[in-house]
Every structure is written in C-alpha cells, then in structure tokens.
Structure 1
C-alpha cells in the first residue's frame, strides 16, 4: 500500500491567502544550495538567466546552461541543484487566480482544465523558441511589478504584493503568457504513464521523512515500493540523482542543522535524535555537507544572527 504523501508536500504558503502568487529570486552573488525535492499545488515558472543548474522534474533530469524557462505543473516532484553561481528566479501562483466567474470559452476550455490538472503548461522554452521573447517580456514585467510594490515576507526571500493594481497587472501578465501558449498549441494533456513511478518516489521520500529518526534499511524502502532492493536502488537514483542512503543521510543532516539552530541540545543528543547511531559517522556526514563540525556550525549561526 502507498504511504500518504501529504507530508512530502510543501506546506508553506506562496503569496498570500487572498492572492496566492509569490516571487523568489537568486542573484549571481548569492551562495545558494538549491531546492530539495518537493511538490506543491501551485504552478511554478522558473527563469534561468545565467549559470549552470541541474533541474529534476519527476523522472527526468535537465542540465541548464543557457537562458531559458521551465514550467512546473501542480503536483510535479522537482528539485534544483546549482552547479555554478547564477541568476535564477521563480514565480509561483495558484491557477485559481486566473479564473473568471463568467463561463466563456477561455474559462471552460483553458482556465478550468488548467486549475483541475486537465491541461499543462509546456515543459520548457529555449531562447530560440518563437514564443520566448514574448514570454520573457511578460515575465520581466511581472518581476518589475513585484520589485516596485512587493515586500519580503519570509526567511526564504519570497516577495509578495498586496497592491490591488499590481495584482491585476500580474494576473494580466500570466494570462498573456497563457494566451501565447494557447496560440502556439503548447498546452498539453498530462502524461499518465509516469504517474505511478512518481507516486512511488513520493511514497519513499515520505517514508524517509516520517521514519528518519529510526534505523531504516534499503529493504524497508523497497518493500514500500513493492520492488526488490537492487532494482529499487537503481530506480531511486535515476529519479533523484542520488542513492537512497545518500538522500537519507542528507535529510538527517538537514534536521540536525535545524536542531543546532533552534535548540541547545548536545551534539550527541542531536546525533541520536536524527537517526545516527554512530557519532563518528554523524560528524563525517555533517562536515561533508556543511564543511564545518556541528559545534562550529552552531557558533557560526549564532554569530551570524547577532
């Protein structure tokens, strides 16, 4: 039986309750570690301006080396790994902000199916695409509006706007993009063949997040997916770019970092609480991930806050 994947789903809000649309940006000078695998109900427009990145969406991996757009549809599992410093931004919005009360052709054939997952945005637009310049123009106008009227509301650097005129301009820009996609027949029905495989990965990640404090063996994850251990390891690595054990250790280190930031627990306590039963192994994994020992990291974090 599949595990409930609701805990894997990203829980934070994008935008505000009344206008679920937000902007995230990474500048060239930023030291950014990327975004781990997650999914959400919003559509995400990813713009890569400069730099190299690895983008994973469901079962596919894309290497970004030039200016382009990628589009994440609701429910798609995805992650971003920066390979160099670069320029990247993302506009996330819930499809419902585009809908009309009036059930005209646009509402019934485009907006309603988009909101319910019946149609999807194109996977990506390269610079050579005939639609690229127009979409880029609309996107840059949306960024300009956020910059002029937005405010930062979260530690992740999300920009939102509560200005009425700005919200209308942003909605208009998104609708203009949708019109461009429609005019070039770039809106497609979702592919069903990958759904089951993606759900297996979501289930495995949810199991890790629910049981990371316990001893987890490959056989436990393989049983969740009804696969043998060898095939599951190949399947997992193909989907996420790392082995199940590497992902598990990285997730445990992430939880350890949170405890170092938010508690005064001793390092040994954190080691055990995060599922490491060998202090030496915990220290090696922590330094490999952060370049610091746990105590050095805590001091660095406290000094940075002060």
Structure 2
C-alpha cells in the first residue's frame, strides 16, 4: 500500500521554509500537509484545485491554503509533451500552524489574523495591490537569516490579514475526507480528465482503470470532490473555455466543441451555471477590463 497523501514539509526545528521551485511542470500529485502554504506563480499556466474548487491559473497567481486542505496546481497539457521547452516557476512558503497558536489568535490584536486563519481553511486567492506587495517580500525572505526571516513572514501575514482583495475558494463547510490510498486513485482521475476532456469522457474506462464499477466509482468520487464526476468534468471544460474566450482567437461555437461539449445549448447552460454569465458576457467583460488596463 502506498503511503498517505500527506506531505510533512517542516522538521521539528523549523518554523517555516521558503522554496524557489523551478521545473518543467508543477507537482502533479493531489496532496495536503499540516502547514499553511503561501504560493505565488512566477511562470506557468494550468488548472488549480483547492478542496472542491477548480479554477485556471497563470503568472501572478497568489494563494493561501490552510492546514490539511487538499490542493494541486496542474500544469497545462503542453508542459507534459515530450519535446516541451516550457518551464514553471513558483515561490512557496510553508509555515507551522503553531506560529499562530490559539493563545495568540484569541488576543484582541490578532483579530484580523484570526479571521485570515479561519478563511484559510477554504483557501484564499489574492489579487490587486496585495499580490504586488507579497511578491516584493519574497526576495527579502529568501536572503534574510534567523529571526529577521520570521519578521518578514509576519509582515507578509499582516498584509494578507489586512487585505480585502481576495476570493474564498472551497465551498463553506468543505471537509477533507481523503485517506492515504486515495492519492494514486485521484491522480489517475485528474490525469485522465485533463488529457481527455476535449473528447467524450468514458466513465466505464475510468472506473475500470480504478478497478471499480461505474456505480462504485461515482459513489467514491463524490464525497472526495464534493461534487459529481460529471460536474467536475464540466468545470474542467468551462475552465478551458474561459482561457479561449480571453484569447479571442475562436468564436463561441468553435470554443464549445474545442472544450468537449456536443451542443452549443448545453455549453451555454453549463457555462452560465458555473460562471453566472453567458460566454458572450464573459468575453465582453474581460476584454473591456483588458482594454481599460492597457
């Protein structure tokens, strides 16, 4: 039996560690660990999974995940191609939950930090000026030594705690129900869907791959993803559609079929269900934002 999908990132003598991660793709394993994690994407694109939340990511992505919250940054398919020259670059900090002990969080001065800790159990995505400030602090943490590194980390936590520029990711009440043997099974599911979402997804094939019947696979998947398998697949497809809509290289009908949908009506319905706007509205909104920024 494989070991549990729990990564212990700190030793007993460490309060936090900083990692400057560079490689052909990000860690493709669905995992969790007892530490808080601050992640900044310098280079790379793909799909981000945090708890039951699915969303595309690109350069500038900044997130905070709380202890034992399952997550995965899965690079786009192009990064896994044999002759790919694409690279990824991420800045990551893991810090011990004991740094923010309950005895501190209960103090009046830690009110906003306590709120940050409470929100982190769902995962948080930061944007705007908060993202810029945090990015500027990473090089300082990389070179500082001893207690001065702790001070820089506390500065970073303070910025996140004071920020209003964030979105919560996982659903309210999301719970981690993963066991050790789930890591390899879920990796196979994610790999299969990310490789095949542009065509018909064969439920029988993926169930057989896990030595399950289709019924048992659906029962297995739903509590771990907090959604049905079909909804999960649609989220992956709509995530890809959102990328294509922003590139403005395809019309909406072309995007529909490029993302694995068989009918335009179903594509429009699923897109609105997930994003709360139509594909046309989504493209118009974000192209207007892009134009105003430039």
Measure, in 2, the Cα distance between the counterparts of 1:238 and 1:62. 16
Q: 1:23 to 1:171 in 2, by over 3 A?
A: same
Measured after TM superposition, the shift of residue 114 of structure 1 is 5.6
Q: 1:106 to 1:77 in 2, by over 3 A?
A: same
Measure, in 2, the Cα distance between the counterparts of 1:239 and 1:7. 27
**TM-score, normalising length: structure 2:** 0.52
Deviations 1:106-133 (A, max 9, x none): 33x4445665x5764763124xxxxx22
Show the counterpart of 2:6: 9
**TM-score, normalising length: structure 1:** 0.50
Measure, in 1, the Cα distance between the counterparts of 2:169 and 2:27. 28
Q: 1:121 to 1:31 in 2, by over 3 A?
A: same
Measured after TM superposition, the shift of residue 63 of structure 1 is 1.4
Measured after TM superposition, the shift of residue 205 of structure 1 is 0.5
Q: Within the alignment, does 1:105 sit opposite 2:108 as a pair?
A: yes
Measured after TM superposition, the shift of residue 23 of structure 1 is 1.7
Gaps of at least 5 residues in structure 1 are 1-5, 127-131, 150-160, 210-216, 242-306
Q: Within the alignment, does 1:229 sit opposite 2:216 as a pair?
A: yes
Q: 1:52 to 1:113 in 2, by over 3 A?
A: closer
Q: 1:92 to 1:231 in 2, by over 3 A?
A: same
Q: 1:169 aligns with which of 148, 152, 159?
A: 152
Show the counterpart of 1:124: 125
What does 1:60-209 align with in structure 2 at a 5 Å threshold?
60-83=53-76, 84=79, 85-99=87-101, 101=104, 104-107=107-110, 109-112=111-114, 117=118, 120=121, 123-126=124-127, 132-141=128-137, 143-149=138-144, 163-181=146-164, 191-192=172-173, 194-195=174-175, 198-199=176-177, 201-202=178-179, 205=182
Gaps of at least 5 residues in structure 2 are 80-86, 187-206, 234-294
Deviations 1:255-306 (A, max 9, x none): xxxxxxxxxxxxxxxxxxxxxxxxxxxxxxxxxxxxxxxxxxxxxxxxxxxx
Show the counterpart of 1:251: none
8 Å contact from structure 1 (residues 121, 187) kept in 2: yes
CA RMSD of aligned residues (A): 4.1
Measure, in 2, the Cα distance between the counterparts of 1:64 and 1:81. 9
SS of 1:172's equivalent in the other structure is helix
Structure showing greater Rg: 1
